[in-house]
Structure formats: structure tokens, C-alpha cells
Structure 1
Amino acid sequence: MKKIVKHIAVAGLAILCFQCKENATPELETKSTPQVEKVRSTSAVSIEEVKALDNEAKRQLGENIGIQSYIYSIPVVREMLFRNKFSAMVDKAIKANRPMFSKNANDGVNLNELVHLRLLTNHHLQTGVTPNVDTQYSPAFIDVSEGPVVFTVPKVERYYSVQITDAYLENVHYFGGTNKEDYEGNYLLVKPDWTGKKPANISKVIKMTTDIGFLVLRILNTTEKGDTKKVVALQDQFKMQSLDAFLGKKKDNYPVLAKEKMPKGIEFYNSMLKYVRAYPDLKNDTHFWFLMKQLGIDKDEKVDFNELDSSIKEGLLAALPKAKEILSWKARTRGYKSSSNWNIDHVGGSYNGDIMARAEGAVQGFVVHDADQCQYFHTYYDKAGDPLLGSNKYVINFSKDQLHQAKAFWSIVAYDAEYNLVPREDYHYAVSDRSEGLKYNDDGSLTVYLQSEEPEGLKNNWVPIPKEGIFKLNFRNYIPKETLLNPETVEKYLPPVEKNDKDLKL
């Protein structure tokens, strides 16, 4: 492998640089070391100076490939590392004597096991995935490599959705959502190359596109008194078990989720390679291995990135913060920007080969609904195009005609820079169509207040924001009406976020 890198990445790039020197465009030249600049300015060069140029070429190669491979692989890395994060959240709640999760997780979170959140999300759960505060979540980490898994859906009379993704967090299948179809039944989740026969009492066979994936059940909590108990009872009617257990052949004994080592520095690339090999993305696999080939890495070769050329490693390490910054920027500019500075995304989590959107979705929200399931309008900017900052006060003014464009429900929530909820001991995080005591204006319009301190007499119209720093605002519309799905009309329903410096008293 080192020999390939030396002859292709070093000699080849060095010769190319010398040949292209005379025709180089000044604007495209990158900052380089004094030794490299000296080589470029004279025809009389030493061996050391040529080596310096070679090393700079290798460093740039490593940085280029590192950024691209990070963006490609971060969804599957996130999928695996979130197993640790979720298990730690459950363990923390148990140790703090907070009965937040179903008791089946008391001995650890297992593969192919639904773990139910017994209440709405709150700030104690530092998930970093912009959770909603409208539905109770029930996640499960799917693994069908050892055999099919049966997922049972009961009769449901309220909004719910079951979202299933592959290893790269791209949507594979939905149940529920629109409530226009009765999904009650048993569904068989199988691996991509499964060739078995559909058993009796199975409603449908669903082929996963990778051996592992993620499933999340969401059930609407109306916030009416006693509704949490109703949701809990409904959660327990959803089941997940092996096909053998479903057929009564044996009891399940799925393992507790293995702890994945947090990859730091160059170890990110070793983890990346391990996961991509184990769970190949068949739609985009060729592109990834083409990138690896530029480093002299073969698809079937055992590799330790620590053993790569030092200059290439330097470039790979430099790529990590740059790739993260690219995705941070992409999160702020997802989809396209409306005239009122909301981001509009009519694609959602069925990425169809868009690797950049897939990476941004994985980093910002982990899993992303398809557009017809939920329109996630979000923004980091006010009407003037300035960043939303916790030190300011803002308002959003909805006219009467702009309100209620979701068939299921809508909500507005703010998140800090780490995509977590703003801490509130009273668990007040949002304004929604279910907020009790919303105060409408005389003409039927609605003013929503965004600030760090509660506005006097207007708590029900208030979305708490951080006390300082940039924040993100999410405006969710579950089962959006055509008005929001149509690019010709959607902007009419997105009023801007405006600064508000007035004293607020009712």
C-alpha cells in the first residue's frame, strides 16, 4: 500500500505540479510552505526542496480525501456511536431514579428492542438531535444479519409514525403518519439478500438496504391531562421480536448493544473503514472506494490509517475540523432559503444519492422525515439576515390565514448550538397548536415571542431561547397541507423572525 501511495500520490502529483506551474491560475494556488514557494520560483532545486513539494502534495491529497470520506461516512459512524449515547442516557436516567424509559431497558439496551420514552422529551436528555416535544419516542436499533425480525403494529386511532432507516440513516419505510391507511399487522424486516418465503400471519416483507438500521416510533401526546398514560398503554402494543420467537420456536436473546469506541483523530478513519466495510451503502459504494484508492487502499485490504505516510496523515487530521465546519454551514443552509430566511426542504430523509444532504441530516437531526410526513422549516437568521442570538428578543407574527397548515399538528421550538433543548425546570419549550391559553390578536393573528426570559402574561405564546450564543429555530408541520408542499405557495405561510425591543406587558 505504501508503495502505491509513494509512486502515485507523490511522484505523480509532484510531476504534475512541475508541468502545470507555467499555466497555473494565481487565484487557484493554495498557501504553501516557504520551501515549496522556493521550488516554484527557480529551476535550480535541491533534493530536499523536491521532497518538500512532494510532502505538500501528499498533505493536500490527504485533506481532500479526508473531507470527502468524512461527509460520506459520518451517517454510519453516527448510527453506531448513537448506540452508546442512547444507552448512556437510559443508564443515567435509571441512576438518577427518573422513570423516563420502559423497564425492559433496566438491564441495558438490546439489539432489536423497542425502548419507550414514557414522557415527552425534556432538557435532561442531551440527545443533540433536535428532538420534538410533541410526540413520545420509542427507538430501536435494528440488526437483521442473523435472521428476520417481526415488527407488530396495533390498531391506532391517533397520530403516530414508524420511521425505518438503513445504516446511513436514509429512510427505508414508513408506517402510520397520514392515518389514511390502517397499518395494523405484522411486518417482516429482512436483510438485503434474503430469499425466504413470507410466513403466514405476516402482512408484508420489508427488505432492508443494509443489515443494520434504526427504527423510531413517534406517538402524539396531546398534553391533555391523562394523555401520557394513554400513550404509554399504546406504546406497549407495538412489538419487536425475531421471526423464531414470533413463530413460537424459541425466546429471543438479543445481545446488549456493544460499546463503540469514540474515534478521535486518525482513529476516526479506522472506525469509518470498519463500518463502511461491514455495512456497505450499495448505491454509493463505488464512489467511496474510488476515494480510498487515491490513498492506495484496496477494498479488501486490512488497513491501519496510523501507518500511512506522515504527510497524508497530517492532511487527514486537518480534514476533520474542516469537514465539520462544512456540515455546520450546510445545516444552516439546508434546502433553499425563503425570502423570509426560513430554510425549505422538500426532499427530507429520502436522499436519493445526495451524500451532502445525508451527512447534514445525520449530524443535525440524526433521522429526518420525508417532506410529506413533516415539513421541518428551520432558521438561524432573522428578517434582516442577522444570526439569531440569545441576547436579543424576537417575534414571529402569523396572520390568521397563515396559521394551521398542518393536518396533524405544528410546533415551534428553539435549540442551542449543540441541537439540545433550552433547559427549563417547568418543561416549557414550545408554542404549538396544542398550547393551552394561546392569546390571539383581535384580527385572529398570532404573535409568538422568542426570548430568554418569560414575557409577562404571555407564557403560552413564548418560545424560550438560550441566554446567549447562536440558536436554531424549528417550525414543524406534521402531515403538511398542499400549501406547504407546493413551492409556488409555501413562502406565503412563513413569516420572518423579527427583532423586538419593546417592553411586553399585557
Structure 2
Amino acid sequence: MRQFLFPLSLALLVAPSYSLFSSGRDILSEQDATIAALVYGIPLTSYVVWANAVAAEKGGWFTNSFYYQPTLANASSPHVVILPNVDTLYSGAMIDLSQGDVVATMPPLEEGRFYVWPFYDLYGDNFCNIGTATNSLAGKYLIKYRASEPGCVAGSDEYTGIIYMPTVYGATLLRIEVFNSSDVNYVASSIDPGFRLSVLPSDSAPRAPALTQELLNDNLNTSDPALYIMQLTARVAAFNMPEVPEDVAPIAAVLEIAGISMTAQTYTMPAGVNLTLAYSAAQDVLLGVVANQTNFVALGNSWMMLAPALCGNFLSHYGVRAFIAMQAYLQLQASEAVYPTFALSGNLYANQTYMVQFFGKPQVNGFWSLTVYDGEGYLVPNSINRYSLNNRDNMTYPDGTLVYGGSSPANSTQSFYMLLQSTDTPASAEWESNWLPTPAAGGEFSFQLRWYGPTDSLLNGTYTYPKLTAVAANPPLPISG
């Protein structure tokens, strides 16, 4: 999957955008259609990587059956998701409605613990969530295929709710908050198993071929990224069309022009197409997502985030969908979580220490964290096995009192600080509780801020976002601020 990853630092370069499936262009050239088809199909590559990782962890290819993550992610964990957090246990499952409907069973939710059970279509659109933020009730939820108007609706006497999935194949990635390391076993053994999927028997003909390992992996040219995307799209697109009804016909037409047979599920490159140039142009589309400032919200102090309306469920924004699939696959809707990004992430100076000033406690209905990654998106190995700091850690104010768990009120605006410093240079005693180790030998790194259950203050600019300052190693603690 590495050859398909577009680093965020590269994406910050200004690049031209491309108009996909424009209603003003009734007939696309085969070259233009190929570019559009590549952008449309890029998220499928992330699905395959994710599905193969889930199957590897589960010990076999099983659809409609959870892999329950037994431990929190760490520096040696495989990449089941890109840029993993270390605040939740993940439980993943491939959803296959080809043979019939599926039932999702949710146990009662513990008060004070944040849960989100998201459902995704084949392209990574987060079309439905149940859990804490939606005040969902325990019970059985019927998952049904419906080609348009996906989402969650109230159920009947038999089902607490109905989840309409817009594609035959999809995914779910349950996230359950873990308070600390001693809480992991309890969540893994006593909470996770209560979330289950089961297939209902069906007397009707299959809607599509079964979602098998062979369907997603066999006889595809993985050595050529562009050819691979086109072949993979041809194999599954006919049974998994877009969720926006008005897009179905034009996208089907574009795929056919590009050489994808919707009936035979095969790809034949048109004679005049240059697939290498088309792939380069498709990359420009993804770069153009960031170049288009209307896609983002400036938050102050060099922080930005994807506009909340574009988070998670992308609808007709296929360029944004492809970009997020490469950067943060299986993103949640903004009502569940948002992921503010520091504008210089990925370009932080080697061997440089940074101090992060928080201007008061972030107001969340769930939890928040700041996590450090190396240049390839992996958690950073370090002697204290600390990969993030969050509202459940024993961070302290400069005067030594606890930020959380002490006498400071929940809405305190008193500043506290984190130290981002190489694991080669251990933090001094006064910084130890607030130290986030960065890579050894001055390696490139980035970090990710996460708000789970964000309040309006974190979305509308009311909250003052953290300030990053380059400092000497183990600087004096700020006196006040």
C-alpha cells in the first residue's frame, strides 16, 4: 500500500485540480474518463489493504465476523488502519450483503465511556454511526442494502434500528475508549464480544458475487498502480455504485468510456490512453484537494481541518474521498470525531525539540489526544512506550498540579504544555509527565490531534488552538500563561 500513499507534506504543494464527472461535459475523452475513473477507484485500494490486514489478524478470510483487537496499538503493531490512535481498541469486520441481510447486535453502553460503531460503504464513506454521540440504544440493528438514501433509521419491534448500506460490500471499525493500560483487558474480554454480526438466511438469489479474498486479490496487476486501480474498479464497481442517485448514470458512463465493462467486470485500456499520464493527473487531483482552501477550515496557530461537511461521508466529493482514503482511511463524520492537522506536520526539523502550549482544556464530549508518528506514519518506539498524551494521562501544569484528576475545573483556561523531544534525549524530571518522544537520531515525524465527541468550540474557532514553538532540549518550564 505504500506506493499509493500521498504524504500530507507533499499534498500541501499547490497543484491543479480536475473537474470530475462535470455535468457541463456530456462526453469525456477516453483519457479524461480514465483520470476520473482512477480518482473514483483509488479508495478501493485502501479497502483491500485494510481487508487483508483484518484477515491476517483474524487468521483467515471471514466476512460479517469481527476481529477483536486484544491490545492497544504500539510501535510494533501492523497497520490495520493508517495512523492508528492508541486511545481505543479497534474491532474490524468486512461486511458482505451479497447473500442476504446482516444483523448487528450492540450491548448496553457503559456511562462515561465513549463508543462509536461506524459503518462504511466500499469506498470509505461513513454513512451511519451508532454509539455514544448518537445516544443509541442497545439491541439488534438490521443491515440492509439500499442503493440510495443510506443511513440509520428507527426500527420496528424486532429491530432497534435499520442501517441502509449503499454498496453490497462494506466495512465496520468499532472504536471503544480505553482509559489506561489496566483497562485494556476488561474492554477486550468483557465489552468487545458483546458487539456481534450475524447473517440472516435468505431465499432470494445473491445480489453479487460473495466478497472473497480471491475477488479482491487474485489476477490483478499490483506492480502497476494505475492498472491495478482500473482492474480492481472493474471487478467490483457494477455491484457497488455511488450512494448519490444522480451520480450513478454519469459515473457508469465514465467508467465505460475509460474501458471498464460494467457487465463483464473487466478492464481493457482504450487504444489512445496513456495510463501513466492519467495516473499522474489523478495524483494532481488529490494534491488539488488541499490546494483548494474552501475544503478546509483555518483554526489558528497553523492548525486546519477538513470542513466538517466533508468529513467521513463524502457524497459527490470524489477527489476528497480519494485523498482521505490515502491519508486517513475510515475517517469518521465530524459529529463523532475530527482530526485537526498542523500545517507543518511532516516537515518538522530533525533534532529539534518543540513545546506545545494548550490554552486550556479542550471541550469534548468524549476524549482527546495528540499522537506522534514517524515519517512513514508508524508509532515511534521509545523507552517509556508512550505514543500520545491525552485527557486521561497524568499531565501537569507548570506548578506541578494535575491538569486532569486534580482540582482544576473541567472548563479551565489555564495553559499546560507538552514537550516533543527525541527519545535520544530523555525529558528532565519536570517535563517527564508531559513528554511525547519523537524519533531517535532526529528522524522526520508528524503528529495528529484528535477530538472525539467535539463540541462547537472546537469546530467554530472559539477555542484557541495549541501553539507550537521550537525550543532547546528540556527548556525551563513556563512560569505562567
- TM-score bin (small chain): 0.7 to 0.9
Instruction: State the match for 1:242 in structure 2.
Output: 199
Count of residue pairs brought into register by the alignment = 407
Instruction: State the match for 1:270 in structure 2.
Output: 231
Query: 1:427 aligns to what SS in structure 2?
Result: coil
Range that drifts further, 493-502 or 154-163:
493-502
Q: 1:181 aligns with which of 124, 135, 149?
A: 135
Distance, in Å, in 2 between the alignment partners of 1:505 and 1:112 is 54
Higher-RCO chain (CA-CA 8 Å, sequence separation at least 6): 2
Q: 1:395 aligns with which of 347, 351, 355?
A: 355
Question: Cα–Cα, structure 1 residues 125 and 398, in superposed 2: closer, same or farther, change >3 Å?
Answer: same
Q: 2:102 aligns with which of 149, 171, 194?
A: 149
Instruction: State the match for 1:359 in structure 2.
Output: 322
Range that drifts further, 260-269 or 228-237:
260-269
Query: 1:276 aligns to what SS in structure 2?
Result: helix
Distance, in Å, in 2 between the alignment partners of 1:139 and 1:280 is 23
User: How far off its partner does 1:224 sit?
Assistant: 5.5
Query: 2:68 aligns to what SS in structure 1?
Result: coil
Deviations 1:145-185 (A, max 9, x none): 1011111000111211100011111112111132x624200
Q: Which amino acid aligns with 1:202?
A: Y
Distance, in Å, in 2 between the alignment partners of 1:428 and 1:477 is 19
Q: How does 1:211-290 map to 2 (within 5 A)?
A: 211-223=168-180, 225-244=182-201, 257-258=213-214, 260-261=217-218, 263-265=222-224, 266-283=227-244, 284-290=247-253
Instruction: State the match for 1:460 in structure 2.
Output: 433
Question: Cα–Cα, structure 1 residues 207 and 503, in superposed 2: closer, same or farther, change >3 Å?
Answer: closer
Q: Which amino acid aligns with 1:456?
A: S
Range that drifts further, 463-472 or 111-120:
463-472
User: How far off its partner does 1:132 sit?
Assistant: 1.1
Instruction: State the match for 1:113 in structure 2.
Output: 65
CA contact (8 A) 1:431 1:460 kept: no
Range that drifts further, 139-148 or 440-449:
440-449
CA contact (8 A) 1:140 1:215 kept: yes
User: How far off its partner does 1:494 sit?
Assistant: 0.8
Q: How does 1:339-358 map to 2 (within 5 A)?
A: 339-345=300-306, 346-347=308-309, 348-358=311-321
User: How far off its partner does 1:137 sit?
Assistant: 0.5
Q: Which amino acid aligns with 1:350?
A: N
Instruction: State the match for 1:480 in structure 2.
Output: 454
User: How far off its partner does 1:68 sit?
Assistant: 2.7
Query: Quick check: which one's strand share is greater?
Result: 2
Distance, in Å, in 2 between the alignment partners of 1:133 and 1:295 is 42
Q: Which amino acid aligns with 1:498?
A: T
Distance, in Å, in 1 between the alignment partners of 2:465 and 2:260 is 48
Distance, in Å, in 1 between the alignment partners of 2:70 and 2:36 is 40
CA contact (8 A) 2:104 2:142 kept: yes
Instruction: State the match for 1:129 in structure 2.
Output: 82
Question: Cα–Cα, structure 1 residues 417 and 145, in superposed 2: closer, same or farther, change >3 Å?
Answer: same
Q: How does 1:61-76 map to 2 (within 5 A)?
A: 64-76=32-44
Question: Cα–Cα, structure 1 residues 336 and 416, in superposed 2: closer, same or farther, change >3 Å?
Answer: farther
Give unpaired runs (5+ residues) of structure 2: 1-15, 17-27, 149-154, 203-209, 400-412
Instruction: State the match for 1:319 in structure 2.
Output: 278
Instruction: State the match for 2:337 in structure 1.
Output: 374
Query: 1:338 aligns to what SS in structure 2?
Result: strand
User: How far off its partner does 1:432 sit?
Assistant: 0.6
Question: Cα–Cα, structure 1 residues 456 and 286, in superposed 2: closer, same or farther, change >3 Å?
Answer: farther
Instruction: State the match for 2:370 in structure 1.
Output: 412
Range that drifts further, 417-426 or 123-132:
417-426
User: How far off its partner does 1:62 sit?
Assistant: 6.3
Question: Cα–Cα, structure 1 residues 172 and 395, in superposed 2: closer, same or farther, change >3 Å?
Answer: same
Distance, in Å, in 1 between the alignment partners of 2:262 and 2:201 is 35
2:382 aligned with 1:424: yes
User: How far off its partner does 1:61 sit?
Assistant: 6.2
Query: 2:135 aligns to what SS in structure 1?
Result: coil
Distance, in Å, in 2 between the alignment partners of 1:429 and 1:139 is 22
Distance, in Å, in 2 between the alignment partners of 1:63 and 1:395 is 49
Q: Which amino acid aligns with 1:323?
A: A
Question: Cα–Cα, structure 1 residues 426 and 295, in superposed 2: closer, same or farther, change >3 Å?
Answer: same
Q: 2:120 aligns with which of 149, 157, 165?
A: 165
Instruction: State the match for 1:40 in structure 2.
Output: none
Q: 2:299 aligns with which of 338, 342, 346?
A: 338
Instruction: State the match for 1:80 in structure 2.
Output: 48
User: How far off its partner does 1:427 sit?
Assistant: 2.7
Distance, in Å, in 2 between the alignment partners of 1:188 and 1:478 is 26
Question: Cα–Cα, structure 1 residues 239 and 296, in superposed 2: closer, same or farther, change >3 Å?
Answer: closer
Query: 1:493 aligns to what SS in structure 2?
Result: coil
Q: Identity of aligned pairs, percent?
A: 23
Q: Which amino acid aligns with 2:452?
A: Y
CA contact (8 A) 1:380 1:470 kept: no
Deviations 1:178-229 (A, max 9, x none): 2x624200011011269xxx88632222211111111111111100534532
Give unpaired runs (5+ residues) of structure 1: 1-27, 29-59, 91-104, 246-253
Query: 2:117 aligns to what SS in structure 1?
Result: strand
Please give the TM-score of this superposition, normalised by the length of structure 1.
0.72
Range that drifts further, 138-147 or 367-376:
367-376
Question: Cα–Cα, structure 1 residues 407 and 226, in superposed 2: closer, same or farther, change >3 Å?
Answer: closer
CA contact (8 A) 1:113 1:141 kept: yes
CA contact (8 A) 2:41 2:233 kept: yes
Please give the TM-score of this superposition, normalised by the length of structure 2.
0.76
User: How far off its partner does 1:330 sit?
Assistant: 4.3
Range that drifts further, 335-344 or 426-435:
335-344
Instruction: State the match for 1:208 in structure 2.
Output: 165
CA contact (8 A) 2:44 2:232 kept: no
Q: 1:500 aligns with which of 467, 471, 476?
A: 471
Query: 1:225 aligns to what SS in structure 2?
Result: helix
